[in-house]
Amino acid sequence: MSVHPIPYSDPLTAFAPFAGQDGAVLLDSAATAGGRGRWTYLCLTPQTVHLDPADPFTTLTDALRPLSPAQDAADGLPPFRGGLAGWLSYEAGRHLEALPVPRPDDLGVAETAFGVYPVVAAFDTARQQAMVLGLPGFDAAAAALATRLSAPLAPLPPPATATVPMRAELSRDEAARRIRQVIDYIYAGDIFQANWTQRFLAEGLPAGVTPLDLYRRLRALSPAPFAACLSFGGAHVLSASPERFLRVDPDGRVETRPIKGTRPRGTTPEDDARLAAELCASEKDCAENLMIVDLLRNDLSRVSQVGSVRVPVLNGLESFASVHHLVSVVESRLRPGDSAVSLLRASFPGGSITGAPKIHAMELIHALEPARRGPYCGSVFWMGPDGAFDSSIIIRTLVIGGNGRIAAQAGGGIVADSEPMAEVDEALTKARAMIRAVSGQDTPLPPA
Active-site amino acid positions = 243, 260
Q: Say how far apart CA 273 and CA 337 lie, in whole Å.
A: 46
The rounded Cα 80 to chain-centroid distance in angstroms is: 17
Q: Say how far apart CA 415 and CA 285 lie, in whole Å.
A: 9
Q: Say how far apart CA 182 and CA 369 lie, in whole Å.
A: 11
The answer to whether the beta carbons of residues 325 and 261 sit under 8 Å apart is yes
The answer to whether the beta carbons of residues 69 and 49 sit under 8 Å apart is no
Is residue 214 classed exposed, middle or buried when 0-12, 13-18 and 19+ CB atoms within 10 A define those classes?
buried
The answer to whether the beta carbons of residues 336 and 236 sit under 8 Å apart is no
Four-residue CA torsion sign, 135, 28, 318, 197:
negative
Q: Which helix (H) or strand (E) holds 58?
A: helix 56-64
Q: Say how far apart CA 43 and CA 127 lie, in whole Å.
A: 20
Cβ-based neighbours of 349, under 8 Å, separated by 6 or more: 90, 92, 93, 362, 377, 378, 379
